[in-house]
Amino acid sequence: MDNKKDIEQREAQQSERMIEIKVRFWTNDLAEGKGVILPKHAQSSGVVRIERNKSHGIIPQKPLPFHSLMDLTSVIEKVLVAQGITLHSSRKMKKYFEPEE
């Protein structure tokens, strides 16, 4: 695992300080007729993709499909891992982990 002290820090514009994941749900085949939708209705499946971010060195790849909401978190994890992104636990999550020495 990378040590934070070994990572090169860099300036980033306001719009590139966050890493953005996009979740899209399929809406096809719910209404009768081609090109017709049921407003505010979607399937429980779709795709996950990561948005381009030059400051973080993120180049979007092919979106990954998920087949149920239970599948969604594992697909998000795969997208993050494919980009080499390291997550750090938030203050609320730290209560679940042992303190680092």
Rounded Cα distance, 16 and 35, in Å: 35
> How sure is the predictor about 9, in pLDDT bands with cuts at 50, 70 and 90?
confident
Looking at residue 92, the DSSP 8-state letter turns out to be T
Three-state secondary-structure class, residue 93: helix
In this predicted model, what pLDDT tens digit does every residue of 54-82 receive, in sequence order? 989 999 999 999 999 999 999 999 999 99
SS3 category, 58 = strand
State the pLDDT confidence band at 2, using cuts at 50, 70 and 90.
low
| Spatial separation of the C-alpha atoms in residues 79 and 60, rounded to whole Å | 9
More confident residue, 6 or 65: 65
Spatial distance between the Cα atoms of 9 and 5, rounded to a whole number of angstroms: 9
What is this structure's pTM? 0.80
Sequence ranges of the domains in the chain: 16-96
CA neighbours within 13 Å on the CB side: how many for 65?
5
Q: What is the rounded average pLDDT of the residues 43-58?
A: 95
Q: Residue 13 pLDDT more than 90? A: no
Q: Which of 11, 42, 41, 8 has the alpha carbon at shortest distance from 25?
A: 42
